[in-house]
């Protein structure tokens, strides 16, 4: 396995949908009636997973490299479908913050005639946004971002890459057996906090909560890595 590639592109996936690493992540943003939007992201790796990535760096001969490097992350996202611009900066060797502007949310991380994982509809009486991630869509998302990401997640034995049908508890046991209980615990206790403003007053939210035009989601990292069940998030507004 090429650990140089694992390091370089492994850090990119953390921001690309902030779905696939043990981290503390916050996403906030807004969507307008056309499906365009602007988002700010703040991501910091937890100590043990940061140490694991650092060990990959040392193995690859990159002892002085940042654990998370804003430059390749910005470059990768700026080229992704549906994104007009992406800019990040390091706030520490293992944390970054920045912004991503999306031209049309329906096109986000899609390619050609592929069906996206986000559906956004706006009509005269309101709108509906649905996000669906399952074992079929998950690998497609990874390939849209960068094929090398799969190498990193394969090292973490994530079912989203391996296709192995594991329960969440079974996956955590596997991680603990290879990388130790500390890494397993960090994955189990990591989540992504997302706060998004929608074009109108929200009427209902599936798997989240809302107030006014703002919907909030607390997404466990473990659910995303294992995809034991499809993840579905839905917002309806008027």
- The percent of residues in the chain predicted with pLDDT above 70, rounded, is 77
**Among the ranges 135-149, 153-167, 191-205, which has the highest mean pLDDT value?**
191-205
- pLDDT-based confidence at 150, cuts 50/70/90? low
- pLDDT-based confidence at 168, cuts 50/70/90? very high
Q: Please give the pLDDT value at position 149.
A: 53
Q: Please give the pLDDT value at position 93.
A: 81
- The better pLDDT of the pair 194, 96 is held by 194
Which of 1-15, 41-55, 92-106, 161-175 is predicted with the least confidence, judged by mean pLDDT?
A: 1-15
Q: Please give the pLDDT value at position 8.
A: 41
Q: Is the pLDDT of residue 164 over 60?
A: yes
Q: Is the pLDDT of residue 152 over 70?
A: no
136-147 mean pLDDT: 66
What does the alpha-carbon distance between residue 101 and residue 46 come to, in Å, rounded to a whole number? 26
pTM for this structure? 0.79
């Amino acid at each position: 396995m090429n650990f140089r590639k694992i390091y370089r592109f492994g850090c990119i996936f953390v921001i690309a949908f902030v779905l696939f690493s043990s981290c503390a992540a916050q996403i906030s943003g807004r969507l307008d009636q056309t499906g365009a939007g602007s988002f700010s992201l703040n991501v910091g790796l937890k100590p043990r997973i940061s140490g694991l990535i650092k060990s990959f760096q040392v193995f690859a001969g990159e002892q002085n490299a940042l654990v998370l490097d804003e430059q390749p992350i910005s470059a990768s996202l700026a080229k992704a479908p549906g994104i007009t611009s992406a800019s990040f900066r390091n706030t520490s060797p293992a944390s970054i913050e920045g912004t991503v502007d999306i031209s049309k949310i329906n096109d986000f991380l899609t390619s050609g005639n592929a069906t996206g994982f986000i559906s956004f509809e706006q009509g005269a009486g309101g709108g509906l946004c649905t996000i669906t991630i399952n074992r079929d869509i998950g690998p497609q998302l990874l390939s849209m971002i960068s094929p090398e990401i799969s190498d990193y997640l394969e090292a973490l034995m994530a079912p989203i890459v391996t296709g192995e049908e594991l329960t969440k508890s079974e996956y955590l046991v596997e991680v603990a057996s290879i990388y130790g209980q500390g890494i397993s615990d960090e994955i189990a206790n990591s989540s992504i906090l997302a706060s998004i403003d929608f074009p109108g007053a929200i009427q209902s939210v599936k798997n989240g909560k809302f107030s006014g035009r703002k919907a909030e989601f607390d997404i466990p990292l473990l659910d995303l890595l294992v995809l034991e069940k499809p993840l579905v998030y839905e917002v309806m507004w008027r």
